[in-house]
Amino acid sequence: MIDLHCHTLHSDGTDTPEALALLGDEARLTALCLTDHDTLGGIPAFLAMQPRVKTRLLAGTELSCRFLGRSLHVLGLLVDPADARFQARLEELRGRREDRNRRMILRLAELGCPITHEEVQAQAGTPLLSRVHFAKALAARGFVRRAPEAFERLIGDDCPGFVPREELSPAEAARWIREAGGVPVVAHPGRFAGGGFRWDEAMRDLQAEGLEGLEGYYGEYRAAEQKYFVALGQRLSMVVTGGSDYHGTHKPGLRLGSGRGGLKVPDDLLEKLETQQRLGTYR
């Protein structure tokens, strides 16, 4: 089994890259791709673990895009971590994230929940601050009882304390990832829109914009969703990938490799992904 989607404390997970590599080995994964949001910051330490583990360690990232007025996540799998232009582009995204964070702190103060940048930073292991760190800081100050309540009342996508950041277009994200030698993949499409949504049409549009794969196997899919998205990928000749979206203790009960228990991402998906990476067209 493999896992092509997971996070460390370089974004909104709680494990170090070293611990994640060891966890992949313990889970007897054939391959593990680290995909922190907007950064390759954990990749050097992660790849440096290769001599100590049997699991193949791979580089990736996860970017946020604007699609149909909502946030769509795109994985950049197998990107070249040494690509200077891609690094600069990610740095720009992190700058936009910091702008958003500063404005969110001002907004939260207006809503009667004054927290400081330092208090949010204290909840994070690296300088990349995500809403999960805001949630923990709000709980630490007693503005909410527990972190999930912060997402329900204050900083969830439709809540008054949420400030959107300027996001990429799917075409831009796909181009950046391709130019860094990686394969652009629509992350967890089932989380963007579920039953009733006309995915055939939307996914064809995304494919036309340069998205080459979709995440058919996912840590939080129900069996029917997995079946639907694997079939959709095959129908559209897109490369199908899969991963747990492991975040350490920020997603309780979700395990690397096996997700909520039943996740099994087949090894041969990686061979197809690598063929896609080389040839650019899927067959």
Sites of contact with ligand AMP (CB under 6 A): 12, 37, 130-132, 151, 156
Residues at the contact surface with Mn ion, assessed by CB under 5 A: 12, 62, 73, 187, 245
In terms of CB distance, is 225 or 247 closer to ligand AMP?
Answer: 247
In whole angstroms, the minimum distance from the beta carbon of 276 to ligand AMP comes to 25
Kind plus residue range of the DSSP H or E element containing 217: strand 213-218
Q: Which CB atom, from 73 or from 97, has the smaller least distance to Mn ion? A: 73
Which of 76, 210 has the CB closer to Mn ion? 76
**C-beta closer to ligand AMP: residue 117 or 278:** 117
- Using the minimum distance from each CB to ligand AMP, give the nearer residue, 5 or 37: 37
| Distance in Å, CB of 51 to ligand AMP, minimum | 31
For the stretch 1-40, what's the b/e string if a residue is b when 16 or more beta carbons lie within 10 angstroms of its beta carbon?
A: bbbbbbbbbbbbbbbbbbebbbbbbebebbbbbbbbbbbb
Q: How far apart are CA 143 and CA 100, in angstroms?
A: 20
Q: Which three-class secondary structure state does DSSP give residue 127? A: coil
Smallest distance, Å, CB 48 to ligand AMP? 25
Query: Which residues 6+ apart lie within 8 Å of 88 measured at CB?
Result: none
Binding at 131: pick from Mn ion, ligand AMP, none (beta carbon under 5-8 Å per type): ligand AMP
Sorted by sequence, the CB contacts under 8 Å of residue 54 that are 6+ apart come out as: 25, 28
CA 279 to each of CA 68, 209, 274: distance values in angstroms, whole numbers, following the listed order: 30, 17, 9
Nearer to ligand AMP, 82 or 106 (CB): 106
18 secondary structure, DSSP code: H
Q: What Å distances lie between residue 65 and 43, 112, 211, 220, CA to CA?
A: 22, 30, 12, 21
Q: Which does 245 bind (CB under 5 to 8 A by kind): Mn ion, ligand AMP, none?
A: Mn ion
Residue with tokens 């060891």: 22
Helix (H, G, I), strand (E, B) or coil at 168: strand
Q: Are 215 and 192 in contact (CB under 8 A)?
A: no
Contact partner, 89, from ligand AMP, Mn ion, none, Cβ < 5-8 Å per class? none
> DSSP labels for 63-121?
EEEEETTEEEEEEEET--TT-HHHHHHHHHHHHHHHHHHHHHHHHHHHTT----HHHHH
CB of 241 to Mn ion, least distance (A): 12
Least distance to ligand AMP, CB of residue 94, Å: 11
Write the single-letter amino acid at 76. G
Among residues 135 and 180, whose Cβ is nearest to Mn ion? 135
Q: From the CB of 74, what's the least distance to ligand AMP, in Å? A: 13
Choosing among ligand AMP, Mn ion, none, which partner's interface includes residue 199 (Cβ < 5 to 8 Å by kind)? none
CB of 149 vs Mn ion, minimal distance in Å: 18
